[in-house]
Amino acid sequence: MNYNQFFLSSSIKIMKTRKLYRSNERRLLGVCGGIAEYFNIDPVIIRLLWLFFTMLGGCGILLYIIAWIVIPSRPDYNNNK
């Protein structure tokens, strides 16, 4: 296997394993935690950004509701309910 084949197969494996879900460790609905897990950053940063956008005229609330509808819950979380 040459370098290009190895790099391509590694890239495909990484892309397949990374999916966006709402977080199981929820503060409100799990949207901010899920986005933070996806980007591998602290959820507090995402929550502060949501707060900032909300204070800029309320668009943060609308974006949060849309994200809650669009981003699915983690499959293992739904089965444990």
Q: For 17-71, how does the pLDDT look when each residue is reduced to its tens digit (9 = 90+)?
A: 778 888 887 778 888 889 998 899 999 999 898 888 889 887 888 888 898 999 8
| Distance in angstroms (rounded) separating the CA atoms of residues 65 and 67 | 5
pLDDT of residue 53: 83
pLDDT of residue 3: 58
Instruction: For the beta carbon of residue 35, count every other beta carbon within 10 angstroms.
Output: 22
| Distance in angstroms (rounded) separating the CA atoms of residues 8 and 14 | 10
pLDDT of residue 45: 93
Contact 54, 60 (CB under 8 A): yes
Choice between 10 and 63, residue whose per-residue pLDDT is larger = 63
pLDDT of residue 76: 74
Phi, psi of 22 (to 5 degrees): -70, 145
